[in-house]
Amino acid sequence: RQPLSPCVTGERLCSTEEATAGSGTYTRHGFIFSSLAGCLERRNEDSELPVVSVVRDSESQLLPNVGAVVTCKVCSINSRFAKVHILYVGSTPLKSTFRGTIRREDIRATEKDKVEVYKSFRPSDIVLAKVISLGDAQSNYLLSTAENELGVVVARSEAGVQMVPISWCEMQCPRTHTKEFRKVARVQPQFLQT
C-alpha cells in the first residue's frame, strides 16, 4: 500500500492502462475518475495492475459491498420492486444513506413467479437484505431477501403499532389483531439491535 493522497469528486486519477478501477471510482474514456471526495488508495492485488480506490475518512469509508447484510427502510413499492434507503451495513450506521432496489424476483428463494411486492413489504418497513450487486447511479444497489434470515424485521400496522411476526409470511398488530402479509425475516441474534 502506498500513502493516501486526498482527491476530490470527479478528479482524473490515472488511465485504465495503469490501474483497475476499485470502489469509489468510475471509468470514462480510458481514464479512472474519483466518484467521491476522499483519499486515493492503490493496492496491488493478484492482478498485474494495481487497484485504485477512493475511500472517505476512516469513520465513513464503510460502503455496502456485495454479500454484505444491510438494514434498510422501504421508501416506495410498485408491482415490480421495492425502493429502499440503506441505513446500516451489518451493525454499523452509515453516515449517508444509499439507495437500493429489491426486485420482485429477489424477494423469495421459492415460487418467485408468485411473489407480490405489496404482500412482502410496505413503505416504512425496516428490512434486512443482502447486497447482490452494486448497480450504478441510476439503478442503485440491488438487494435480495431470498434467504430465511432476510426480510422484514420491523413493521407498523395501520394502527401505528409495531407488529409481531406470526409466520414467515404474516405479521399481526397486537392492538387490533389485524394480520398483514410480509416477507418476514427469521432474525439471527447478531442482527438484533438492543
The H or E element that residue 145 is part of is none
Average pLDDT over residues 34-61: 76
Domains of the chain: 5-55 (2.40.50.100), 68-150 (2.40.50.140)
Average pLDDT over residues 80-108: 89
Q: Which residue has the higher pLDDT, 145 or 134?
A: 145
pLDDT band at 93 (very low <50, low <70, confident <90, very high): confident
Measured between alpha carbons, how far is 56 from 168 in angstroms, rounded to an integer?
A: 39
Which neighbouring-strand residues pair with 54?
40
pLDDT band at 183 (very low <50, low <70, confident <90, very high): very high
The answer to whether residue 192 scores a pLDDT higher than 70 is no
For residue 166, the model assigns a pLDDT of: 92
CB neighbours of residue 142 within 10 Å:
19
The answer to whether residue 165 scores a pLDDT higher than 50 is yes
Return the HEC string of 15-38.
ECCCCEECCCEEEECCEEEECCCE
Measured between alpha carbons, how far is 41 from 63 in angstroms, rounded to an integer?
A: 15
**Percent of the chain surpassing pLDDT 70:** 86
Average pLDDT over residues 30-51: 83
Residue 104 sits at φ, ψ, to 5 deg, of: -50, -45
Could you tell me the three cell numbers for 63?
460502503
For residue 140, the model assigns a pLDDT of: 80
Could you tell me the three cell numbers for 31?
481514464
Q: Which residue has the higher pLDDT, 23 or 135?
A: 23
Strands 51-55, 20-21: parallel, antiparallel or unpaired by DSSP? Answer: parallel
Cβ-contact 64, 86 below 8 angstroms: yes
Average pLDDT over residues 91-101: 83
Measured between alpha carbons, how far is 24 from 100 in angstroms, rounded to an integer?
A: 17
The answer to whether residue 60 scores a pLDDT higher than 70 is no
